[in-house]
Amino acid sequence: MGATGPNPVKRSATLAAVSILALGGTSILIGCLALVDSQSALNASLRGVAVWWEVLFPALFPFFVLSELLLGFGIVHFAGTLLDPFMRPLFRLPGVGGFIVAMGFVSGYPIGARLTSRLMEQNLVSRDEGERLVAMTTTSDPIFLIGAVCIGFFGSLQAAPVLAAAHYSGALLIGAASRFGKSAAQATEHPATSASAPGVNRFRAAIVAMHRARLADGRPLGILLQQALQSSLALMVIVGGLVVFFSATLELLVKSGILSLFKDTVAQLLDLARLSPNLSSAFVDGTFEVTLGAKAAAADTGIPLTDRVAAAAFVLSWAGLSVHAQVAGLMSGTTWRYGLFARARLIHGFLAMLLVYLLWPIFYPKAGSDPSAAFLPEWAAAKPAWASAFAEGAGLHSVWTVAAYLPLLFAAVLSSIVALGALAIGVRRFLRGSGKTRA
């Protein structure tokens, strides 16, 4: 008999043991650092609480409640049936995925993971489809990207068009590329969203799907709202705890000098890529927490704006281990695998950086690498009233004037999915027709 490969069960047990030892050792190290420098841990924790209460809670809590209500009323099933013929040729995903993409892009991380986990629990999406959906919908919300990053950290709207285009286009490209995977090719139809047969009245089928989902849920409005509030509050506490933990962890690791080697290595890699080594702080901070990383990317005004925007694009797309932990917590009740998610986030980060450099000359053809107001269009150089308020220190998430545009953004994402899906259908029909003609 020939030699056999390593025993998969034994290898899995070894990896589990290594993971437990690594996590345990890291926990002990952080605990020791917190005991030695308790004041730094306290200050960082208080900053994390402030970010959670002033930014994340008002931004995420309404969407957590809304997602529960939309699922309970069957709106997700309604939209899924309508979007099914466009999502399958474009991303090889069921129609409910289109609704999750729109919600994820508008409301930001980790809403996409929240909705996906619920759909996986209801067997409306498979494990592969759920993993690809989470990879595509773990994005920043427009309010944070434009307000906190561009206005608050960069101090102007110059970075907004390119940063937004690179970040969201990268996510869509990740989703489109994942459709060609081996497991994606074996995706199956789901009863709740499959109404693709010729001659089927799709709007009527969507109404039927929504009605069936509402009957299957069965909770009265009062109970549905109460449970939505309870579960959303519990999730917000978890999100807040993770933000505080990673804020304190990053502060302790920086103060202790443990991250110095990591930071020096990143600086050397940036120098090899002909980027400023001073951007290493953005990548190191962004590895742990997205807000700190984006702020560090914009800090050094001596670095060309293009490079700083590219670094911010990587940080927003990688999303930080704090967001990774939030997503992992939300997906813990499913068969979702973190390794594939982390790989997708890393690819998304580098892809967003590349898109910044490709899109910059298109948006600012006369500006070079660091545009001034003379080269910017009026809409990019102007500062609306809410931008001035944020620049003075007010949290943009409390300036709900900007939030009024979220329904328009939601409709724009859905319209884009329909348009791209229709284009994919047309291309596929053309290719099939060309094949028949040649035959």
Residue whose C-alpha is closest to residue 337's, from 140, 120, 191? 120
Confidence at residue 367, expressed as pLDDT on a 0 to 100 scale:
58
Half-sphere exposure of 187 (CA within 13 A, CB side): 27
For residue 269, CA distances in Å to 264, 272, 274, 277, 283 come to 9, 5, 9, 8, 11
Structural domain tally of the chain? 1
C-alpha to C-alpha distance for 160 and 298, rounded to whole angstroms: 13
Report which listed range, 123-127, 129-133, 292-296, 430-434, is most confident: 129-133
Please report whether residue 268 resides in a domain. yes
Q: Are 348 and 109 in contact (CB under 8 A)?
A: no
Q: Are 166 and 145 in contact (CB under 8 A)?
A: no
Confidence at residue 23, expressed as pLDDT on a 0 to 100 scale:
66
Buried residues in 340-357 as b, exposed as e (16+ CB within 10 A): bbbebbebbbebbbebbb
pLDDT tens profile 251-263: 888 888 788 888 8
pLDDT tens profile 44-97: 888 888 878 877 787 778 888 888 888 888 888 888 888 888 888 888 888 888
Would you say residue 402 has pLDDT above 80?
no
Least confident of 198-202, 256-260, 323-327: 198-202
Please report whether residue 20 resides in a domain. no
Indicate the pLDDT class of residue 308, thresholds 50, 70 and 90.
very high
Domain extent for 114: 38-425
Would you say residue 99 has pLDDT above 80?
yes
C-alpha to C-alpha distance for 421 and 53, rounded to whole angstroms: 39
Q: Which residues contact 100 (CB under 8 A, 6 or more apart)?
A: 76, 112, 115, 116, 119, 133, 137
Would you say residue 439 has pLDDT above 50?
no
DSSP 367-402: TTTS--TTTS-HHHH---HHHHHHHTT--GGG-HHH
Q: Are 101 and 175 in contact (CB under 8 A)?
A: yes
Q: Are 350 and 131 in contact (CB under 8 A)?
A: no
Confidence at residue 366, expressed as pLDDT on a 0 to 100 scale:
67
Buried residues in 287-298 as b, exposed as e (16+ CB within 10 A): bbbbbbbbbbbb
Would you say residue 399 has pLDDT above 70?
no
Task: Give 274-277's long-range contacts (Cβ < 8 A, gap of 24+).
Answer: 275/307, 275/310, 275/311, 276/300, 276/303, 276/304, 276/307
- What are 295's two structure tokens? 């702020």
**Over pLDDT 90: what percentage of the chain?**
17
Please report whether residue 259 resides in a domain. yes
Please report whether residue 23 resides in a domain. no
Please report whether residue 30 resides in a domain. no
**Over pLDDT 70: what percentage of the chain?**
79
Confidence at residue 405, expressed as pLDDT on a 0 to 100 scale:
62
Would you say residue 353 has pLDDT above 50?
yes
Sign of CA dihedral 294, 297, 300, 304: negative
Confidence at residue 5, expressed as pLDDT on a 0 to 100 scale:
54
Average pLDDT, integer, range 340-368: 88
Angle at 112 between CA 111 and CA 118, to 5 degrees: 90
Would you say residue 171 has pLDDT above 90?
yes
Global pTM reads 0.80
Indicate the pLDDT class of residue 377, thresholds 50, 70 and 90.
very low
C-alpha to C-alpha distance for 383 and 154, rounded to whole angstroms: 13
Would you say residue 172 has pLDDT above 80?
yes
**One-letter identity of residue 425:** I
Average pLDDT, integer, range 412-433: 79
Please report whether residue 275 resides in a domain. yes
Higher per-residue confidence, 144 vs 33: 144
- Which run of H or of E encompasses 366? none
Q: Are 112 and 319 in contact (CB under 8 A)?
A: no
**One-letter identity of residue 251:** E
Confidence at residue 437, expressed as pLDDT on a 0 to 100 scale:
43
Indicate the pLDDT class of residue 196, thresholds 50, 70 and 90.
very low
Residue whose C-alpha is closest to residue 159's, from 319, 310, 293? 310
- What are 407's two structure tokens? 């329904």
Question: How far out from the chain centre does Cα 28 lie?
Answer: 30
Average pLDDT, integer, range 211-236: 87
pLDDT tens profile 13-39: 665 666 677 667 667 877 787 777 788
Average pLDDT, integer, range 185-213: 64
Q: How many CB atoms lie under 10 A from the CB of residue 66?
A: 16
Q: Are 248 and 46 in contact (CB under 8 A)?
A: no
Average pLDDT, integer, range 406-432: 78
Confidence at residue 9, expressed as pLDDT on a 0 to 100 scale:
62
Please report whether residue 434 resides in a domain. no
Sign of CA dihedral 313, 420, 135, 114: positive
Please report whether residue 250 resides in a domain. yes
Buried residues in 366-386 as b, exposed as e (16+ CB within 10 A): ebeeebeeeebeeebeeeeeb
